[in-house]
Structure 1
Amino acid sequence: MAAKVLFALCLLLVFIAESQATKVNNLFNVMNYGATADGKTENSAAFLKAWRDACNSNGNVTVMIPRGTYFLKQIVFNGPCRGWTNVIIDGDLIAPTDPSFATDKWISFRYVKNLIVSGQGKLDGQGSSAWEDCNKNHNCRPSFPISMTFDYVTNGYIHHLSSINSKGGHFKTYGCENIRFTNVKISAPGDSPNTDGIKISNSNGVAIERVNIGTGDDCIAIISGSKNVLISNVFCGPGHGISVGSLGRDDGEENVENIKVRNCTLSDTTNGLRIKSWARTLSKPLKASNFVYEDIVMNNVYNPIIIDQEYCPGGTCSNKDPSHVEISDVSFKNIRGSSNTQVAVNLKCSAKFPCKNITVNTIDLWQNRGVGKLSNLCSNVNGASYGKQNPSSCL
């Protein structure tokens, strides 16, 4: 039922957003506000002037960033605005090379209702300097700027943008309602640290469709408070796969529920479909429930299907406790392709809160040359298997 409601909301959002995009009454071109497309002049003042005039105008408005290269430091586009706001980015936006030019965000949209962001341009985070510093420290967990964030945006439609070489992540939603990404292209080297493609946090009703992601961390990361998420027709690789988590590191996190991933391809990733939680005690258990993964293709993927409730990156956890994240009602259906690890399906659940109602239906995974015979592992998990199981199911 929840999936049907989400699908209907997405269709309604697309119809409204696309219809509004064709009914623009007011155009605010950043060039008319003093912007310079030479790749050197800092343009945040001009961009903000255009945004403020557009945001304060009645009716449907467009902020236009025409072709060219625009140097841009940290900028926040604040709402609320009076009508539908359409931001067309046809130029290339480049960030400073200094990793510390901003805190954790480069370009932000905040408190905006009815927002469209699109265009043929690209966001260039110029992340190589940040990665170089981080790669010298293998335990590096920096707060380098995310290229574009959406905070408390309601009815958002992001399409046909490209993001390359982000210093931190590429896109992030926080506190959003009904937001959709389509035909977005995300690219960073496979060894670039912490460059998540799209991160979803405390958001309800997120759709990610027809998106191509190659990066150095999770292609898509679904974390605390995410609900009613639909991911379809996504290509992921390189990267760390499509992940729920990590969850359960700190008290105060919120439940994650109703996640659907379908018709996706993962290629040369270090994980496939992953749910991960910290081996830590919480004052109140956290719930992760109602996940559906179906019609997924794996090409040369490490850990094609993995639930890891002993997550501890870098081996920094001195005292491991059973995870206090309760995982339940998870379905893996029609998953096929090649594995780069001998353990193809690894369901490693919490001894304190075992996984409940985990089903695997029609799984066909085979080993790459030299990997050896595949197997599955289960611990602290209750569930069932149906249909073809290659390798043999441990449920």
Structure 2
Amino acid sequence: MLLSFSGPLAYAAIAVAWSTFVVPHTKDADDTLALMAAIPDYTSDASIVFEADTTYNIWSPITFPPFTNVEVVISGNLTYPTSIKTVQGHVATANYSGAWFSFTGGHNVTLRGNTDPDWGWVDGHGQQWWDIMQQTNRPSGWLFKNVTNGIIRDMKIYKPIAWNFGTIGSSNMHIFNNIILANSESASFPFNTDGFSAGGTDFLFENNHVVNGDDCLAVGSGAKNVTWRDSYCEGSHGLSVGSLGAGGQVASVENVLFENTIMNRTLYAARFKSWTGGNGAAINITWKNITFIDVMLPIFVTQNYQDQSGGPYPSSSSVNETRIENFLFDNFVGVINDTPGYVEGSCITDPCWYHVSGATGKEGVIFDLYPKTATNIVVKNLVAHTLSGAPVAAMCNSSTISNDVGFVCSDGPYVPTQAGL
């Protein structure tokens, strides 16, 4: 009788066995090749380990197949090619997956770094790209596409070339304790070094530290049930929803919470951006408990977004706009950078891409809305002062709103109303 059970028991033991693959390193060679050759044997119930005290040459992109119960562990350092032309050549190929490191699907997938101050870093050598303002065939860093039950934790990114962590069609993601350092050591600007994107459902971001030159977090169309909390953003373009509705697209974003975050010397603290003529809706979005330090524009909502590389603001005869409903900005405290003549580093046009006609630079909040498209949008407990000591201002057109927005809706001094107290 015992023998009669040995087959099923042996099968069960094999099914739950855990394998570990330590990625080999070869001096002065591309370590991607050996990794990709071995990966087919480790697509389930496995750890793929870049071991400590080793600097790996990731000189060509890594595209992981769909995984089930797999963790990728970054204990050693990873380096991109130092040659800009080499990177561009890979990005320009027809089979480029969209990122230098791509996870293409699966269930229970973990990307894990460590907290060692010297090891576990991923070096993109982005400074040389920024210094010559090279923006052709730039790679994204990490892509999680169609992953269910994913974790990204304890990752450390140093001088990425451009975008860092992207997610598309993923769900139930926990992204925490990550560090992104995309700060330039020269007068050049780290364009498009977005920290994270949320493109899916049921995301929790927490305890992340981001120094960069674009959105700290960008929540895109299709996102639902997203929380960002207990984090730090420096030099960025804020905690953003959008852009939505480009080219008349139908957008959908629902149930997003940003809270308990320090915004240090950022262009925006909280930002919503949609294009003229867009469709769809963004519903139930809250930013609360935000501390801002020398921020140019703490709260900015626009339905007239444009890309600075695309020329002047778009014109549209469409009566459609991406609707916004139930937006709350609660307990914003800090300092507005209204230094005369100050220009944020991403400005390469005159006027700057972020220029708002009529703005004084002292605004704590700007609502750039279209009539009959915004419902229940409120600012509460905004406590701000300017570096110059001048009174805080606001911009708002009362013909575009249907509720008490928490301050006197006009272009002039910021004056709280009952709803804003």
What is the distance in 2 between the residues matched to 1:153 and 1:250? 28
SS at match of 1:102: helix
1:30 deviation in Å?
1.1
Aligned pair in 2 of structure 1 residues 24, 243: CA closer, same or farther (>3 Å)? Answer: farther
What is the distance in 1 between the residues matched to 2:312 and 2:205? 33
Counterpart position of 2:178: 184
Q: CA RMSD in A?
A: 2.4
Answer with 1 or 2: which has the greater Rg: 2
Aligned pair in 2 of structure 1 residues 24, 159: CA closer, same or farther (>3 Å)? Answer: farther
Counterpart position of 2:376: 357
The answer as to 2:339 corresponding to 1:320 is no
Counterpart position of 1:4: none
Once the two structures are overlaid, the 10-residue window that deviates more, 124-133 or 178-187, is 124-133
> Is this contact kept in 2: 1:124–1:166, CA < 8 A?
yes
SS at match of 2:130: helix
What is the distance in 1 between the residues matched to 2:328 and 2:314? 31
> Is this contact kept in 1: 2:306–2:313, CA < 8 A?
no
Runs of 5+ consecutive residues of structure 2 not aligned to the other structure? 1-15, 92-97, 115-119, 338-360
1:133 deviation in Å?
4.1
Aligned pair in 2 of structure 1 residues 24, 182: CA closer, same or farther (>3 Å)? Answer: farther
What is the distance in 2 between the residues matched to 1:211 and 1:318? 34
Matches within 5 A, 1:133-152: 133-134=132-133, 144-152=138-146
> Is this contact kept in 2: 1:197–1:219, CA < 8 A?
yes
Counterpart position of 1:130: 129
The answer as to 2:71 corresponding to 1:86 is yes
Aligned pair in 2 of structure 1 residues 27, 366: CA closer, same or farther (>3 Å)? Answer: same
What is the distance in 2 between the residues matched to 1:24 and 1:258? 39
Matches within 5 A, 1:217-232: 217-232=214-229
Matches within 5 A, 1:1-395: 25-31=18-24, 35-36=25-26, 38=27, 40-56=28-44, 60-67=45-52, 68-72=54-58, 73-81=60-68, 84-96=69-81, 97-98=83-84, 99-103=87-91, 104-120=98-114, 121-134=120-133, 144-189=138-183, 191-201=189-199, 203-279=200-276, 281-282=277-278, 285-314=279-308, 316-317=311-312, 319-321=314-316, 324-340=321-337, 341-351=361-371, 353-369=372-388, 372-379=390-397, 380-385=400-405, 391-393=414-416
Total equivalences in the alignment: 352
Letter of the structure 2 residue corresponding to residue 127 of structure 1: G
What is the distance in 1 between the residues matched to 2:167 and 2:110? 14
What is the distance in 1 between the residues matched to 2:391 and 2:296? 14
Deviations 1:107-126 (A, max 9, x none): 01111211111123122122
1:146 deviation in Å?
0.9
Q: Which is richer in strand?
A: 1
Aligned pair in 2 of structure 1 residues 301, 180: CA closer, same or farther (>3 Å)? Answer: same
Q: Percent identity?
A: 26
Deviations 1:208-237 (A, max 9, x none): 100000101111111121111100011000
Deviations 1:288-323 (A, max 9, x none): 111011111111111100101121232713642266
What is the distance in 2 between the residues matched to 1:250 and 1:78? 33
SS at match of 1:93: strand
> Is this contact kept in 2: 1:188–1:214, CA < 8 A?
yes
1:24 deviation in Å?
8.0
> Is this contact kept in 1: 2:162–2:190, CA < 8 A?
no
Could you tell me the TM-score, scaled by structure 1's length? 0.83
> Is this contact kept in 2: 1:200–1:222, CA < 8 A?
yes
Could you tell me the TM-score, scaled by structure 2's length? 0.78
What is the distance in 1 between the residues matched to 2:36 and 2:151? 20
What is the distance in 2 between the residues matched to 1:151 and 1:199? 12
Letter of the structure 2 residue corresponding to residue 93 of structure 1: L
